[in-house]
Amino acid sequence: MPAVARVDPKTIFSTEEWARLTSRSSARGIWLVVHAWGTIAAAIALVTLWPNPLTWLVAVMIVGTRQLGLAILMHEAAHGGLHRNQAINEWI
């Protein structure tokens, strides 16, 4: 028995709000992947330009968070959620 009762989100959101929340944006999916890799590259560049323990620690934390983000995006891609075109979705 679940601890919390299931609530239909359509009772909370209007039809227009729910459509906006559940719609897929191909541009946003591509942007999220590019942003994650760009952030990883920036973290590596930070350590390359200013090599010290503090920048190394910051870069490790940033890269770790982006790895989690990429794993979540990979899960979305497995469900066809990153791009409307299936071939592009799988390539990303």
Q: Residue 53 contacts by C-beta under 8 Å, 6 or more apart in sequence?
A: none
pLDDT of the residue at 57: 97
Residue with tokens 């929340």: 21
Share of the chain above pLDDT 70, in %: 98
- Report residue 91's pLDDT band, with 50, 70 and 90 as the boundaries: confident
Residue 50 DSSP SS3: coil
Query: Residue 34's pLDDT band (boundaries 50, 70, 90)?
Result: very high
pTM, 2 dp: 0.77
